[in-house]
Amino acid sequence: MAELRVPVYVRDPFRAHFRSLIVGSLLRSAEVEMTLHQASGHQFRARKAELTAQRLAGIADAPPMTAPVSGRWFGPGTRRLTFGVWLAVVVLLVADMLTFGIRSPVTIVADLGVIVITFIAFFVSVDGIGGPPG
């Protein structure tokens, strides 16, 4: 069976067109707001609307983002390290149970360690499953 490979970024003309429509609409809205504030004599509000219009004009001229932003906090090395630590703690728990017995305080502490590292490993492994934020 052939492996399906998806490129990191696929050029999407609809997304670029939709972006230009939204930014253009916001730009026209800021320009109208600036005109209304100038006509009313509100200089500070007019200046704020003018700065907003300038910023939006800069965004409209800028090329769209070429790659999606990753929502992950942890890389694959961190995931492997966390799994290795989890495996080592489980081995230590089994060794403690064989050496000291099930009811010893050392085994109880090792069991709590397995529980804690399991939660940490879970949250590290599910990091970024929902995709990029926003």
Domain ranges of the chain: 13-61, 76-125
Contact 127, 73 (CB under 8 A): yes
81-123 pLDDT, tens digit each: 999 999 999 999 999 999 999 889 989 998 999 999 999 988 8
Contact 95, 111 (CB under 8 A): no
Amino acid present at 125 = S
| CA 104 to chain CA mean position, Å | 43
Check residue 88 and give its pLDDT: 93
Please tell me the pTM assigned to this model. Answer: 0.44
Question: How many Å apart are CA 71 and CA 67, to the nearest integer?
Answer: 12
Contacts of 92 (CB under 8 A, 6+ apart): 110, 113
Question: How many Å apart are CA 109 and CA 104, to the nearest integer?
Answer: 9
41-60 pLDDT, tens digit each: 999 899 998 888 888 888 76
6 band by pLDDT with thresholds 50, 70 and 90: very low
